[in-house]
Amino acid sequence: MATVPVTIEELKRQTGSEYSGGSVHAQIDEVATRRTKDQKTYLEILLRDGTASFPLRVWSDHPSRGFCSELRNGDFVEVQGDFIVTAAFGLEVRNWNVRFLTAAEKDELLTGPPEVQKKQSVDYSAIESFIASIRDPRLRELSLLFLREFEDRLRRAAGARRYHHARRGGLVEHIAQMMRACDALAAIYTALNRDLLLTGILFHDSGKLWENCFPKESFIMPHDFRAELVGHVSMGVELVNRLWHRLKEGAEFSSWNVLSPDSDLVRLHLLHLVASHHGEKQFGSPVEPKTPEAMTLHLIDNLDAKLEMMSSNYQLGKRLGPEVIERIRPLPANLVAALPAFSEEA
């Protein structure tokens, strides 16, 4: 009887210390030959989908060893068998078999689970709504120009390579949540320039459209030559300048000369938000936050990233005890289970 495939993340979450049947659809990130302590060779195949990854170990006497030795990076496969999570090796599988995915299965895998599609669709719509609410026409039109030109890349980009929102579409989730936080804070701290802050949030990680962008038909994030040389912060600054100069070529820009504050001052403040969003020079920002909006963006960015890391580790992290989960970097310590919300029900 066929097993309905689940994501790797869901498989890790569902699987316990006892073997249970399961199936996963994934892409091969890497095929490597390893050696045991007694120098016997085996294959280690790193499998990846849009949620997580895990290594499949193929011993020399496995019936699928011949098939697996022909697999290449980028192939799409199904692995079906009995899965278990161990403290030493994490997710493992025994009594397994493997096959190539059909074209239809591959397309479905790349599209992502329905719940992820729905969430990212809602988040992208939220981004569009927040941009539409920007009152300053210069910042609003700059943001709309960015979405028109880079929507496809934005929907594929991750928030990071490893630490947070490290999945296809993760950057959309990160930006949307930061904008929600901005909207709430701007209602409380009314001196904040909401228009500038929303635009800064949209552009703060725009360099990751190259640094952390997945190809259209792959879960394997390449290392972009330009991003390696320049970094996403500098690329974001350059992108803002390029799009701003595109706006200046339009007929509408001259009518904004009467607006206050001055257009070039608006541009410079936006550049400062992008350049300073890492907060400190030692963490990659060429300048520290020097305005209320820059400080707020940095703190919102850090908060959303840290809470995402904690949420993921609560679900998938190694438990040291019933209420304690082992630390993952860059979090500063082990996690302790959060206090549940108050409920009047017994």
Report domain 8-107's class: mainly beta
E strand intervals along the chain: 20-35, 41-48, 53-58, 76-86, 90-100, 319-321, 324-325, 335-336
Q: Which one-letter amino acid corresponds to residue 131?
A: I
Which residues of the chain fall short of a pLDDT of 70? 1-2, 346
Q: What is the pLDDT of residues 235-284, one digit of tens each?
A: 999 999 999 999 999 888 888 989 999 999 999 999 999 999 998 888 87
Q: What is the pTM of this model?
A: 0.89
Tell which residue, 167, 185, 178, 204, has the closest CA to residue 279. Answer: 204
E strand intervals along 164-295: none
Q: Is 18 helix (H, G, I), strand (E, B) or coil?
A: coil
Q: What is the pLDDT of residues 281-323, one digit of tens each?
A: 888 789 999 999 999 999 999 999 999 999 988 887 888 888 9
CB 267 within 8 A of CB 196: no
Q: State which H helix or E strand residue 114 sits in.
A: helix 114-132
**Cα–Cα distance, 229 to 233 (Å, whole number):** 11
Tokens 């504050």 map to which residue?
Answer: 261
Rg (alpha carbons) of the chain, rounded to whole number: 23
Could you please report the per-residue DSSP string of 58-86?
A: E-TT-TTHHHHHT--TT-EEEEEEEEEEE
Which pLDDT score, from 0 to 100, does residue 1 have? 45
Which pLDDT score, from 0 to 100, does residue 12 have? 85
CB 319 within 8 A of CB 325: yes
* H helices, E strands: number in the chain: 12, 8
Which pLDDT score, from 0 to 100, does residue 2 have? 58
